[in-house]
Chain A
Amino acid sequence: MGNEIADSVLVEKVQKGDKKAFDLLVIKYQNRVVNLVSRYVRDVTDAQDIAQEAFLKAYRALPNFRGDSAFYTWLYRIAINTAKNHVASRARRPQEVQTIGPDDETFDYDDALKEVETPENLLLTDEIQKTILNAIEELPDDLRLAITLREVEGLSYDEIAEAMTCPIGTVRSRIFRAREAIDVRLKPLLE
């Protein structure tokens, strides 16, 4: 759906040499990826390291990304493989890479990354989460419903318009207003 179109436009830009477009993909998916790899490692900073490594691998492998699957699905597999490698090397098991799915990409990068420093600029999300949830609670019903249908249910504007019986333009502005209202609270925490 729409989301994937936006991704593929960004992917294409990166494939044409636009490094900055990659930033947008990183920002978009970094939390999901960290959250995903946290299942494999206990330590959050480890998870951050793995996520970083996964993004680097993704960047380097992007010329081979054919768009057969959604970008996130592809990234997801890279992240899982990276995490599994990490766990395996920790356990000093023989290097046997567990693969996911039949059309798994094989990665033959030298894992010797330049040296992954521990990320220093980490923010605890407790406060962030609370702030966002409070802000959501205080939203007017129509804004809250609109953003929930979008973010949680993954509905398109079209579908939301149908569900809320209002024009698409209204959906777009409601979702934006919801984000804006939450953002006012969130912004100070990230500065």
Chain B
Amino acid sequence: MSDNKLERISALMDGELSSQERELAIDYVKDDLEVKQNWQRYHIIGDTMRNTLPSMVQPDLAEKLNKMLENEPAILAPKSTVNSNKKIASKDFTKPFIGLAIAASVTAVAIFGIQNTEQQTPSVDGSAPQVVSNEGGSLSNLEQSLATAIPKTVRTVKYEPVENTIEATRLNSYILNHNQFNSRMGVQGVSPNARLVGHESQR
């Protein structure tokens, strides 16, 4: 398969193909096992970078599901829309100040999970972490955050990667909230307000 085609798969992942190209590319991934594996590995790369890769992967999950669904009829065409009242799905905590979450939930931020290489025990007990060691410096840079294993925390707490999750929404809305409070102080000159304006929504 040519690189050119794989490049198209890469762009497909990123949602950057025209509708025509997209159809071709989708067929191409669907029908070619090898390309499907490329699709899988490319996503594993993304998951790793966002720290959303669990401690184990199951490469044949899709295949397996396929078998399980074999005996089921292909699903039906969508039934007519029940009720398209758009509600804003958000939990109370996502709107510490009413409305802020709306802006915050669509905010672009740099999000990093914390690398926790020594352990993989996900925590559900929520015990508070104790910080034992070095600060990793700027977390605003992927390399740094990956390289320096910041803060070398805790056995029990697993930091969730937080793209598109409730946590991300929540943290973003709190950041906005904090910046708004902060902007009243004005000690740091234009920064706090710049942060507010810089809070751009992502389409």
B 114-144 to A, binary, CB cutoff 8 A, 1 in contact else 0: 0001001111100000000000000000110
Whole-angstrom CA separation of A76 from B161 in the bound complex: 14
9 A-B pairs within 8 Å (CB atoms) are namely A1-B15, A13-B26, A23-B66, A31-B44, A62-B75, A66-B82, A102-B89, A176-B10, A183-B42
Give bound CA distance, A132 to B43, whole Å: 12
User: Residues of B with Cβ closer than 8 Å to A?
Assistant: 3, 6-7, 10-17, 19, 22, 26, 29-31, 36-50, 52-66, 68-69, 72, 74-79, 81-82, 84, 86-87, 89-91, 108, 110-112, 117, 120-124, 142-143, 146-147, 158, 160-161, 163-165, 202-203
Interface size on A, residues (CB 8 A): 94
Q: Does A107 contact B (CB under 8 A)?
A: no
Are the CB atoms of A27 and B40 closer together than 8 Å?
yes
Which of B10, B26, B47, B79 is the one whose CB lies under 8 Å from A63? B79
Closest chain B CB from A11 CB (angstroms): 9
Q: Is A20 within 8 A of B143, CB to CB?
A: no
In this assembly, does A108 line the interface, its C-beta being within 8 Å of a C-beta of chain B?
no
Name the A residues within 8 Å of B39 (CB-CB). 24, 27-28
Say if the beta carbon of A68 comes within 8 Å of chain B: yes
Q: Of all chain A residues, which has the CB nearest B200?
A: A159
Given contacts A66-B84, A183-B41, contact A172 B164 (CB under 8 A): no
Q: From residue A123, how far is it (CB to closest CB) to chain B in Å?
A: 5
Distance in angstroms from B111 CB to nearest chain A CB is: 7
The reply to whether A23 and B202 form a contact with Cβ atoms under 8 Å apart is no
Q: Which 7 A-B pairs have the closest CB atoms?
A: A2-B15, A17-B74, A101-B89, A176-B10, A3-B15, A176-B7, A26-B62
Whether B56 lies near A154 (C-beta < 8 A) is no
A-to-B contact residues, CB < 8 Å? 1-6, 9-10, 13-24, 26-28, 30-32, 34-36, 38-42, 44-45, 47-48, 51-52, 55-56, 59-60, 62-66, 68-69, 72-73, 76, 100-103, 114, 119, 121-126, 128-129, 132-133, 136-137, 144, 147-148, 150-157, 172-173, 175-176, 179-180, 182-183, 186-187, 190
Nearest CB of chain A from residue B109's CB, rounded to whole Å: 8
> In the complex, A125 Cα to B59 Cα: how many Å?
11
- Find out whether the CB atom of B43 lies under 8 angstroms from the CB atom of A31: yes
B62 contacts A27, C-beta separation under 8 Å: yes
